Structure 1
Amino acid sequence: MGNLHVYSLHSLVLFQLMLVSSAQTQTPAIDTSDLAIFVFGDSTVDPGNNNYIRTAMKSNFPPYGNDFVDQTPTGRFTNGRLVTDYTVSYAGIKDFVPPYLDPKLSMEELLTGVSFASAGSGFDPLTPTLSGVISITKQMEYFREYKARVEASIGLERSQYLIKNAVYIISAGTNDFAINYYGTSPIRRYTYSIPRYYQFLVQQIQKFIQDLLDFGARKIVMVGIPPIGCLPIVITLNSNLLDKFLKRQCIQRLSDVAQGFNQIVAQKVIEMERNDSKLYHVDIYETFQNIFQDPKKFGFDKVDTGCCGTGLLEISYLCNPKSRLCTNISDYVFFDAVHPTERTYFLLFKALSSTIDIILQGK
């Protein structure tokens, strides 16, 4: 059994430093010239793969991308960049992680890493079917296809080196609970208790990680899920009429479910690490929890509603060019009723930066 690399991101001192930090990141003092980053998961790390499939779960229109380069709505479910974009920039690899399904990607872009993630996806095979998006299994198939393309271009030896030395980031699970288990059509809740659903999801995660290891991956990062009871849409759908509008508070019992899930996944990461691999579980739960408990300490004015529209339910096409947009996006933790603003993602990245150094160096 290997040693677990778990990083709890709740240092208040660190967050105070973040608030006065420039958005310009510094390249770490390590060689990343041959490094690639591959990303799997949901909307937290999808830079626009859903643009290329038939689904209603899209964000390639304003006001999404309001603060991206040239105000371009790329398909990222936020006003700007994602944590993974900040990560590749920090590592000196490139400015942004592109979506694998973009047909215009050059081989150079492919060689430095892509995202296979799909907004609306999850570890439960049922979750992506609810919105017609790319399942985790299909994302793995795309990775297999990617390997074949790269091997045909640069040869077997170089492609094996690339795969072995790359960093793999997995960020999913929120939709399995927020949309699937506790959503408006809670099919899984009728057949699974929470402990059994934990077990079911962990089995899916274990298979996915094992597939990556079998493909040659050696540095794998599992990102935990946030307090799902604090997502604006979850508050709206799980509050009584008065609390929906006047006394909006996190639904603690749902956040407790997320915390329990994180703990079990972290334990599974311990069990799966091998002598020739490094598996990391990154805890973002405490980071969000600190913000929710004292938003003004971190420079936020609005924590329980999104910036787009009413901020209570809007996501995807409900957040559109005709929607009202808040005056100062950076005052909000959330851009729409589910997804963080670019500023929130930047704060998460800054909290992760020391951990990212450790991961990039393979320690």
Structure 2
Amino acid sequence: MYLVQKLLPQLPLQIIWSCAILIIFQQNDSAVSLPNNETVPAVIVFGDSIVDPGNNNYITTLVKCNFLPYGSDFAGGDHPTGRFSNGLIPSDIIAAKFGVKKILPAYLDPNLTPEDLLSGVSFASGGAGYDPLTSTLASVIPLSSQLEMFKEYKNKIKEAVGGSRAANIISKSIYIVCIGSDDIANTYVQTPFRRAQYDIPSYTDLMAGQAISFLKKLYGVGARRVGVFGLTALGCVPSQRTVDGGIRRACANSSNQAASLFNSKLSSQMNALNREFPDARLVYLDSYNPLLDMIHNPSLYGFEETEKGCCGTGNIEVSILCNPYTLEMCANASNYIFWDSYHPTEKAYYVLSSLVLDDKIKDFF
């Protein structure tokens, strides 16, 4: 930082801003300051592939990534875990931000210890959605089953540490919900009978209704500090550019408009839910605009490639299509916002997590 300050009078404003951003994000692998010296006992996550650290490894589904090149930069390199990226994912990064632990494990990992459970796990399953059909089509763990696993989790920690401490963990933990992109990108776009049943306004009504129903159930089993990610600018991920972006692979406006419409409904209904449950802290987390800014201004965040993923052609490869036999790989994933055609790189996740969460952390307390 001293070097940046020394050179400030001599540098163009854009370079100064870029340097400051990069320094800030490089520091964000450590915990941030929490209000009133609060401590968080655990981070507990529900969702899809963005926050699945490997639960899909243990179920029968094609939606897997427990093979190289996934994990090529995890824990020093060449260590696929089932995370849909080259390294860490938001569930890990968020757990570190709240000072809990640096790696948040999958609940279905058979090697979990009681200590692992006490500081939190992820129940997320790649391919899941708010729409129950989404999980059925992908043969993955739906939100309803993720909630049942959480109830099982509660019993396990009660057996481990007793009712009083377990109740404290449940009430003071941070809960993260990150799901919904597969509903639009897969179920709605690719399933004709869903499009016959719903137009975009009514389908996003369905999604928002399911989201609020889940949050009410989560509140009912003890969660009080809950952050819910809105959808990103789905139309700008490489696969959606390829499928619906025309010959120039532009951002798919229809997917972006659907994501934006859902986000407005989710945010509004979460505000109403906060009034209904005044002892809860339900925090809407906007990931749409931060990702769009990263794509439109990549140099500010240290990126070069915004339209393709690092794996293969970068246009369509994801999950089993991005595998050890993929012929093309980028030389440096940190230059790319996207790892495969759908999921960001570890570096992009760090940047995005900071843009989305850092200014919102105070709202959890």
The alignment's TM-score, normalised by the length of structure 1, stands at 0.90
3-state DSSP class of the match of 1:20? helix
Q: Give the secondary structure class of the aligned counterpart of 2:324.
A: coil
Which is further off, 85-94 or 269-278?
A: 85-94
Check the 8 A contact 2:40/2:98 in 1, yes or no: no
Alpha carbons of structure 1 residues 107 and 15: separation in structure 2 relative to 1, 3 Å: farther
In 2, the alpha carbon distance for the partners of 1:13 and 1:150 equals 48
Asked if 2 retains the 8 angstrom alpha-carbon contact of 1:32 and 1:92, the reply is no
Deviations 1:104-127 (A, max 9, x none): 101111010000000011000000
Is 2:313 the counterpart of 1:310?
yes
Written as runs of structure 1 = structure 2, the 5 A alignment for 1:112-127 is 112-127=119-134
1:24 positional shift: 5.6
Secondary structure in 2 matching 1:146: helix
Are residues 238 and 24 of structure 1, via their aligned partners in 2, closer, same or farther at CA, if it must alter by over 3 Å? closer
Aligned to 1:329: 333
Structure 1 residue runs of 5 or longer lacking an equivalent are 1-11
- Give the superposition deviation at 1:267: 0.3
The corresponding residue for 1:170 is 177
Distance 2:168 2:30 in 1: 26
Structure 2 unaligned spans of 5+: 1-14
Residue in 1 aligned with 2:22? 19
Counterpart for residue 347 of structure 1: 351
8 Å contact kept, 1:333–1:341: yes
Counterpart in 2 of 1:100? Answer: 107
C-alpha distance in structure 2 between counterparts of 1:34 and 1:221, whole Å: 14
Amino acid across the alignment from 2:99? G
- 1:240-259 to 2 correspondence within 5 Å? 240=246, 243=247, 247-259=248-260
Give the corresponding residue for 2:221.
215
Residue 359 of structure 1 deviates from its aligned partner by: 4.3
Distance 1:325 1:109 in 2: 34
User: 1:15·1:351 contact (CA, 8 Å) conserved in 2?
Assistant: no
Q: Return closer, same or farther for 1:286/1:227 CA change in 2, 3 Å cut-off.
A: same
Structure 1 pair 249–18 and aligned structure 2 pair: CA distance change class (3 A) = same
Q: Aligned partner of 1:109: which letter?
A: D
Question: Does residue 198 of structure 2 align to residue 192 of structure 1?
Answer: yes
1:91 aligns with 2:92: no
Alpha-carbon contact 2:204-2:258 (below 8 Å) kept? no
**What fraction of aligned residue pairs are identical, expressed as a percent?**
38
CA distances 1:71-128 after superposition (whole Å, capped 9, x unpaired): 2101000001112212212222111110000011011110100000000110000001
Match of 2:154 in 1: 147
Q: Tell me the equivalent position of 1:294.
A: 297
**2:237 matched to 1:231?**
yes
SS of 1:177's equivalent in the other structure is: helix
Contact 2:18–2:299 (Cα < 8 Å) also in 1: no
Per the alignment, in what secondary structure is the counterpart of residue 30 of structure 2?
coil
The answer to which structure has the higher helix fraction is 2
Measure the CA separation in 1 of the matches of 2:18 and 2:170.
34
* Letter in structure 2 aligned against 1:228: L
Give the aligned length: 344
Partner of 1:4: none
Q: Distance between the aligned counterparts of 2:85 and 2:157, measured in 1? A: 31
Provide the secondary structure at the position in 2 that maps to 1:281.
strand
Name the residue aligned to 1:5.
Answer: none
DSSP 3-state at the match of 2:46: strand
CA offset at residue 28 of structure 1? Answer: 3.1
Counterparts of 1:134 and 1:340 in 2: how far apart (Å)?
22
Q: Look up the equivalent residue of 2:100 and give its one-letter code.
A: I
Q: AA paired with 2:20?
A: L
* Greater relative contact order, per chain length (Cα 8 Å cut-off, separation 6+): 1
The residue matched to 2:307 in structure 1 has which SS?
Answer: strand
Preserved CA contact (<8 Å) 1:18 1:350: no
